[in-house]
Amino acid sequence: MEKFVASMLLSAAGDALGFKNSEWEFQHDGEKIHKQLKDLGGVANLKVSKKNWRVSDDTILHIATGEALVSDWSSKEELYLKLAANY
């Protein structure tokens, strides 16, 4: 379970960095992203906060899926209902 939780957290962190409050989500120019990241002082100097580095809907759905997977269910149908309820 520890590895599962770690993978969920790291996925959310990576999503937040790549999403950058939707500024980078659909930015297909990697050089532009790298320049902006450099202007921010590089990865090691980012000032991450809930306001400036929110997660995207992808992470919200990822968390909902994870919660459904670790919940109490005994059939695919029950899992599907849990997934639908979480979404």
* pLDDT score for 60: 94
Distances (CA, A) of 28 to 19, 46, 70, 87: 12, 21, 35, 28
Terminal Cα-to-Cα distance of the chain (whole angstroms): 22
Residue 56 is assigned to a ligand binding site: yes
Domain that holds residue 61: 1-86
Is there a binding annotation on residue 11?
no
Alpha helical stretches, state H, 1-87: 2-19, 30-39, 57-70, 76-86
pLDDT, tens only, 35-63: 999 999 999 999 888 888 888 999 999 99
Q: What is the total count of domains within the chain?
A: 1
> What is the token pair recorded at 44?
């090691």
Q: For 4-34, write each residue's pLDDT tens digit.
A: 899 999 999 899 888 998 999 999 999 999 9
* 43, two tokens: 């990865």
2: how many CB neighbours lie within 10 A of its CB? 6
Residue 29, marked binder = no
